[in-house]
Structure formats: C-alpha cells, structure tokens
Structure 1
Amino acid sequence: MKKIVLGLIFCCSALAHSEIVINSNGDRVDLKSNGTWALVPWTDADFVNNNEKFTIKVPDGGNHDVDVLVTPDVSLQDDGRRIKRKDLEFEVKLAAITGRYKLKDRYSYVPREVSVKQRGNNVSITISSTAKNSYGADVPSDLTKEYYIEKNGRFTNKSMNDY
C-alpha cells in the first residue's frame, strides 16, 4: 500500500510541472500546468554586480562562440537601474556582430575582453578584440557602445547611427 501511494505521488509530481518564462515587461513568470502563474523574483546572480567578473560566449568572425571575460564597473548613483546579465549578453553579442562588419577581414575577428561601465542609468560597453590586417598581423582594437537604461530595464542606444 505504501509503495502504491509513493508511486502515485511520484507520477503526479512528474505530471505537474512548471515552466519559467519572461513576459513582455521583463518579469520572470512561473507558468504552472494547472493554468496558474506566479512572479519569480530576480536574485543577485541574475544581475551584473560591481567588480564581479564572469564569462559570456561571444561569436567571433567565423560565428564560433568564444568565452570572453566581462569586467564590470558599476555605480548606480542613487537612481540607477541594475543590469540583467541576459540583457548585457544580448547587447554585447549584437555589438560584436555589427562591429566586425566594419573590419577589412571580418572573418579574423576575435573578441578578447568586455568592459562594462555603468554610472547611474548610463552604460558604456567596450569590447576589446583583435583582427588580422592585410599583412596577416593581429591588430588590437576597441569598440565602444553607449546605452541608456529605460524604466522598464531595456537598453536604448544613445547614438542610433552606429547600427
């Protein structure tokens, strides 16, 4: 009898699963199989914290993911909004993809390091990379993008003519 009850509980728990998704407002929502939902709070691990280095995958010139070290320098200055790691990773990938098309040999592009500087709601992302010149030598370069974080947490490019 005990085994039957445990088996029944196991089957019910396997069927009653949930899925965590992100809605249009940027909130994490736990969608349960019975049709209900609940907001899931963000944790410190979901945000970019000051002087807490981490790695992300950024595509190189051949569209292969390269592990790149991110060095944050964050100062919220009373009214600043925190950067979510997923949002930062998306903006870095977008900047790397668009930045390599300005190179003569875009297939030799290799991102090396990302530096993030936040002052209040102003964010500056600098990607240090190397690419080969016409003689085959590696040439270092930096690509800097300036953003503003809106009230909903989304990034707005300060100079739209960069893209």
Structure 2
Amino acid sequence: MEMMSYRPAGCPINNTLETFGDRWSLIILRDSMFGGRPRSFRSYLTESIEGIASNILTDRLKRLTANGLLTRSPDPSHKQRVVYSLTEKAIELVPLMAVMGSWGLRHTRPAADLATGAQVLEDGGPQLWEEFMDELRHIHLGAPQPAVSAFARMEAAYAAAAE
C-alpha cells in the first residue's frame, strides 16, 4: 500500500485525519499504546472492547503500517504470526490521545473503570505523557527502560477504581 500524498496547502488537521482514516485506526493505536506490548492480529480482534470486524482490522492495520504509524514483524514466540508495534511517529500521538481522553472525561459519560487511564494522564499532564512515551519507546522500539513506569501508575489507578 502506498503512503498517502498530500497537497502542500492541505489543512494540517485534515492531513492528520487522513493519515488515520477513521475511528477504528485511533482505537487500534489506543490499544497499541495502552496494551503494554506489541500486538498480534488476534489480540486486536479479541481484546478490543469495541469489537472490530476482521476485514476492517485488516484494512486499518495495512493503512497504519503504510502511513508509518505501525511496524509489522515476525512474532518471536510463534512462527506463523506477526506482531504490530508502534513507531516513533505513533508514540508522538500520546499528547493527542491524552487530550482526547480529557475531553471525553468532561463531555461524555465514560464507564468509571475505563476512565481511569484518561484521568491519570490528565492529572499527570505533560510530564507523565513524556514518561509514558519513554515507556512506549522501550516496549515498542527497544529504547532503554525508563526509571519511572507510567504503566504502573495507570494500572494502580485502574486497580483502585475496580475495587
């Protein structure tokens, strides 16, 4: 699949939206960010609470890979499977995801347990976003492990909300 080309005068917001394609692409990126590991096709299909159809998932994974947001590589634990990892370009979307989550906390009625990650990111602000991106770089790009775990902070908040 060929990367999309944009007109030089295109609106940056429209260009960004064209890169993703639709809500399913953002959900796939969300699941990649907050899933804590590179993901297989099957894990996207079975672990997403939204219930994406396999044909849509196939198309969006191809689009996200072609647009440089995901990479596709052999799964070291299973010869016939591949895993998808975030690229630096996708990791840099964490602030956008955090702001969308904050907006959703204020203007929608999210389930309490599903709102915890967004609340932690909102409360932590840009400092936590940077820590989260450093942790994603470790998980998906092989960068050194950061001293602080943003995932641990989000998991603790999720566990507290589930009690």
Q: Which structure features the higher share of strand residues? A: 1
Higher-Rg member (1/2): 1
* TM-score normalised by structure 2 residue count: 0.23
Q: Considering fraction of residues, name the structure with more helix.
A: 2
Q: Which has the higher contact order (CA 8 A, sep 6+)?
A: 2
